[in-house]
Amino acid sequence: MHEQINYIVVPEGLAADQSGTPLPKPSFVYRQVLDYVITIAEEGDAVYLAPANHYGGKTSEHEAAFEYLEKSKRPGVSCYSPPVKCEKYIDTYGNAHYLKLFLQDAIEYMSFELVCAYIHSYRAAHCFKTQGFNLKKVHRVYYTVAHENIVIRLWYYRFKPIHVVYELGAFMRDIIR
């Protein structure tokens, strides 16, 4: 019998049109992370989508991801998309903070496996651990850069070396927070 696993999926942006306007669709990176979750989450498992940004569009990252997962997940996998919508930017630390608020006291009795794009995964693990999440495993999803538009704020996702430098700087900021 399969022991239930609680997965946390860290957001990885929204797709955009040619002008950079957000679309209600996960970015090419986020879709690859979600596709990975679809392959590993089994009946009885739960997938928690960390609350995230809407980048000025009508749909947030976690809402778009929820719709994407609902269409493709295995039967018996539960998906949770917290009803969070903020006007200010939610960074990775904020993703963890808002998910913790959604889960409330249950966080003390739960363990999780974090799923994230590999470049973002080290900082994400730090942020979620800092917020009190018991992480049993971190799934680092390697992705292929696609020739698709992503929201303007995340332009560096298309250039892995720049993304690495960004993450190192953001990680240092989060460590001293």
| CA nearest to 48, candidates 74, 14, 82, 76 | 82
Q: Which pLDDT tens digit goes with each residue over 29-52? A: 999 999 999 999 999 999 999 999
Hey, CA dihedral for 171, 173, 176, 177, is it positive or negative? Answer: negative
Q: What residue ranges define each of the domains in the chain, with the CATH number in brackets?
A: 6-176 (3.40.50)
Structure tokens at 56: 């000025």
pTM summary value: 0.94
Question: Residue 1's pLDDT band (boundaries 50, 70, 90)?
Answer: low
Q: What is the mean pLDDT of residues 144-154?
A: 94
Q: What is the mean pLDDT of residues 62-83?
A: 93
Strand partners, 150: 15
Cite the DSSP H helix spans in the chain: 28-40, 61-72, 92-103, 118-130, 160-176
Burial classification of residue 80, based on how many CB atoms lie within 10 Å of its CB (0-12 exposed, 13-18 middle, 19 or more buried): middle
Number of C-beta neighbours around residue 167 at 10 A: 20
